[in-house]
């Protein structure tokens, strides 16, 4: 009986460890599980921390694009990042007459490649501490790796920190960031 109990306990620990490892490979975002077999939009709509981003993507007409084949790397600002913009900015950008400006801002958060944080760190190191990358929107972002933490600097010098990295998607990867990246206007 004691051997069976030990075996059951060992099996339970092993299964728990495997589940933890599988979970660790794709973190929860905004209180929701993120599934590697779902695309960027299918996952983002479930994050309570990205409701503003999802609304903006819909207003800009980018849903089909971000559901597409990719691969994409999306630097996804949180609701708090959008709230930190000057008062009224988000509401103004969501108006139909500002669709082009909103589209430009959002596509400056998207790179047409899948770049996991380990790959970013290698590129940054190879480039002497800063790696420049062009976005789908034509902006240039500067990626840096400081002690295993990735930062993203926009064309205006605003620095966003990656708070959750490597959220795998069927069509790329999401890196959650704490600021909205802005193109030169």
Nearest to 127 by CA among 151, 144, 106: 144
Could you read off the pLDDT of 147-164 as tens digits, one per residue?
888 999 999 999 999 999
pLDDT for position 10: 36
Would you say residue 48 lies in a domain? yes
**Of residues 124, 111, 105, the one with CA closest to residue 171:** 111
Q: Is residue 52 part of a domain?
A: yes
| Residue 2 placed within a domain | no
Structure tokens at 136: 């789908």
Query: Does residue 104 lie within any of the structural domains?
Result: yes
Q: What is the tens place of the pLDDT at every residue in 2-44?
A: 443 333 333 333 333 333 334 447 888 999 999 999 999 999 9
Global pTM value: 0.85
- When pLDDT is averaged across residues 169-184 and rounded to a whole number, the result is 96
Would you place residue 185 in the very low, low, confident or very high pLDDT band (cuts 50, 70, 90)?
Answer: confident
45: pLDDT strictly greater than 90: yes
48-66: pLDDT as tens digits = 999 999 999 999 999 999 9
How distant, in Å, are the alpha carbons of 31, 85, 91, 145 from that of 117?
A: 22, 26, 32, 9
In this structure, is residue 4 part of a structural domain?
A: no
Show the domain range for 42: 28-177
Q: Where are the beta strands (DSSP E) in the chain?
A: 72-77, 110-111, 131-134, 140-146, 149-153, 159-169, 172-177
Give the other-Cβ count within 10 Å of 40's Cβ.
Answer: 28
Helix (H) or strand (E) holding 139: none
The string of pLDDT tens digits covering residues 105-151 is 999 999 999 999 999 999 999 999 999 999 999 999 999 998 888 99
Q: Which CATH number does the domain housing residue 82 bear?
A: 2.30.180.10
Chain-centre distance for alpha carbon 152: 12
pLDDT of residue 6: 36
DSSP letter assigned to residue 86: P
pLDDT single digits (tens) 165-176: 999 999 999 999
182 token code pair: 């802005």
Does residue 55 lie in a domain region?
A: yes
Q: What is the domain count for the chain?
A: 1
**86 vs 35, 93, 108, 172, CA distance in Å?**
33, 12, 19, 31
Q: Does residue 80 form part of some domain?
A: yes
The pLDDT score that the predictor gives to residue 90 is 96
Contact 134, 142 (CB under 8 A): no
23 within some domain: no
């Amino acid at each position: 009986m004691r051997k069976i109990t030990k075996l059951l306990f060992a099996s339970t620990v092993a299964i728990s460890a495997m589940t933890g490892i599988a979970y660790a490979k794709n973190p929860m975002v905004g209180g929701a599980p993120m599934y590697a077999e779902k695309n960027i939009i299918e996952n983002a709509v479930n994050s309570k921390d990205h409701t503003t981003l999802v609304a903006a993507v819909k207003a800009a007409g980018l849903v089909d694009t971000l559901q597409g084949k990719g691969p994409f790397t999306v630097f996804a600002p949180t609701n708090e990042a959008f709230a930190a913009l000057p008062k009224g900015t988000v509401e103004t950008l969501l108006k139909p007459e500002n669709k082009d400006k909103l589209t430009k801002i959002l596509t400056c958060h998207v790179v047409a490649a899948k770049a996991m944080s380990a790959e970013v760190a290698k590129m940054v190191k190879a480039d002497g501490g800063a790696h420049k990358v062009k976005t789908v929107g034509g902006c240039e972002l500067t990626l840096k790796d400081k002690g295993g933490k990735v930062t993203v600097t926009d064309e205006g010098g605003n620095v966003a920190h990656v708070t959750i990295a490597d959220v795998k998607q069927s069509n790329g990867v999401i890196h959650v960031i704490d600021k909205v990246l802005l193109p030169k206007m």
